[in-house]
Structures are given as C-alpha cells and as structure tokens.
Structure 1
C-alpha cells in the first residue's frame, strides 16, 4: 500500500546577520528531499516579520507561521547554541503556535562554536515536551570550530553528517507516520 510522503518542516531558528543556520538548513533540507518518503519544506524564521512583543491579536506573519506548523506532520529544528541555549527568535516562533505542535515528532540539527549545540537541543526537548510533541533521540550536531559549512552548503565531514542525518530522519519518519496514523484514527486529547 502506497503512503503519502510525510510532510516535514525544516525550521531555521536563527535570524542573526551572518548566521550559518541558513546554510545548515539548506544542507539538511536538500539531504532530506532526496528521500521518497518525505516532502520537505524549509521554513526560515528570517523570512517572517514577527512583532517585537506578543500582541493581543495574532498578526498575519504569526498566523502564516502557525499555519505552516499545522500543515506539517513532523519537524526538524535547525538551531545554533547561544550561551548554552537556543535563540530568542526560535522561542518566540515556537510560542506563536500551540495546538499545531501536538502529537507530532521533532528532530534537531544543531551547531555551535566549541560545542555541537547539545545544550540548545536539551533545552528545546523540554519546551517541546510541554507542547506535547515527541522529540526523537538522535540528533545532528556540528562544532563550527572544526570547520564551517562552505558556500555550497556542505559540512566539514559530509559522510559523517549524512549518516547522522539519516539515523535521525529514520526515527523522525517512523514517529511521524505512527503519529499521523494515530491522529487520523483518534483525535489527540491533552
């Protein structure tokens, strides 16, 4: 029986000038798009004009972002590690959606200077648990001091990175298909 591809949103969480996240996100999105079992959409937070403070009424960019989260079956968060955490731009965007995250899996691709972004990922796991999303065990991490992504969006050790990404994607797709089927069979109750 043929299955519809899993709709995976790759969310680039950094909005800083001179960031590496866009290259990391394009690399991962391109790698994931080679698979027949996924349909990849890259969602770059830098493309949204979010308000500086949380308004009483959602703005069109907030509504658009929540709609993209709602349309996805699974997520890959691309995050830097800033001061042993993740960026405020990412937390703000995560908070603009709520029910849209529920009962869906989340994977992580992280990076940092002197770390692989593991502290950012560990903090994000708690955030997504509160949103009743499921995080997958394996992640992909890059220490930018070992060499950054080149202008063609290639990591320093492409084979190692591809193996790590494949493992994480395999887990994400398993959870994504299982949870998509479960949501279709019975609405999620919080």
Structure 2
C-alpha cells in the first residue's frame, strides 16, 4: 500500500466570516448553527471572524487604528485553508461591512475555496451570494457551487436558536462542507506552485 494514502490527512483550518454588523442582526443564530456543523467534523478546525467585532475604517488609509484591527483579523484569514462566508441580503446585495473586510485583504483569499451561506426574506439571501461570487472570483478565490440559504430565516429557528425542521438544512450543510473540504485539500497543495506560490 502507498504510505501516502494511509497517512491521516492534516485537518483543514476553516474561518467562518459573519458578514452582518447591524444592531439586532440575526446572523449569530445562523452562525452558531454553522459552527455546530464545523465543529462536528474531525477534518475541520474552525475559527471565526465577525464583521461586527472589527472596526476597520472605510478608507484604505492604513493608520495605527487600522493596523491594530488588521493584526487581530488578518492572521485568521491568512491561516485559513478555506472560508465559510455567512451573509444576509440588504437591498439585493451583501452588507457594506462585509465588503470592507474583503477589500482590506487580497493575498489572504487567493487560491482558497469559499462556501457561501445566506439568510433573508423571500430570496433567502441568494442575490447577495451571487454578488459575492463575482467579488471572490476577482480575488482568485473559488466559490463552491452548493450553498445553505434560509428563506424567512427568523421563522426557521425557535427562540432558543434551534432549527424547527433541520433535515433539509443539515443535508445542505453537509454537502456544502464536503465540497469545501475537497476544494481546500486540492488547493492547499496546488497553491504551492506557480502562479500562486507565495
């Protein structure tokens, strides 16, 4: 037997990005559910970047304040093998705070896979997801095809943050994370070669 095939795979570091910073946001409820799925997999090691917990300025002037925030956030993005980006939908797109976090970074996203999860009203945030695909393509990131989306998200969870009917979302999360893990392993090796070698 090939020794390389029997060697256990190194766990993948996955950063969950919580994309809303509005007061009264619903994102943490969905994020906790996603984290349960991430923590339940032995092949994944999760971390969290919460847009609401960052205070990046909207200008790209890298003053002392911006450097301090980047010192907390950027390593979590740089060390990740893959990302799960959770977004609501505001006015048919994703929030400005999430775009600001994305725009402060470049190399951190390159040659890495991004899974997209969303929540909202009738559309479930899927219009925001489609916009994010274009943004991440520009940053040389790969978005996985399957998503998890919650239509009328507030009605899907009870007051304790538990899904009322988990069967569909649980199956969607497993498929999305399976795809993310596949891409993450492939790109972790491939990114060491030209044109994406550091």
Alpha-carbon deviations, 1:128-149, whole Å to 9, x = none?
0000000000000001267143
Distance 1:61 1:114 in 2: 35
TM-score by length of 1: 0.93
Distance 2:45 2:168 in 1: 23
**Equivalence for 2:97:** 89
Relative to structure 1, is the Cα distance of residues 16 and 42 closer, same or farther in structure 2, using a 3 angstrom cutoff?
Answer: same
In the alignment, is the contact (CA less than 8 A) between 1:65 and 1:97 conserved in 2? no
Distance 2:55 2:161 in 1: 25
Structure 1 residue runs without a partner (length 5+): none
Which of 103, 114, 127 in structure 1 is aligned with 2:122? 114
1:25 aligns with 2:31: yes
**Equivalence for 1:2:** 8
In the alignment, is the contact (CA less than 8 A) between 1:22 and 1:44 conserved in 2? no
Which of 83, 87, 100 in structure 2 is aligned with 1:75? 83
**Equivalence for 2:113:** 105
1:39 aligns with 2:45: yes
Which SS does the other structure have where 1:77 is aligned? Answer: strand
In the alignment, is the contact (CA less than 8 A) between 1:6 and 1:74 conserved in 2? yes
Greater Cα shift, 51-60 or 109-118: 51-60
Structure 2 residue runs without a partner (length 5+): 1-6
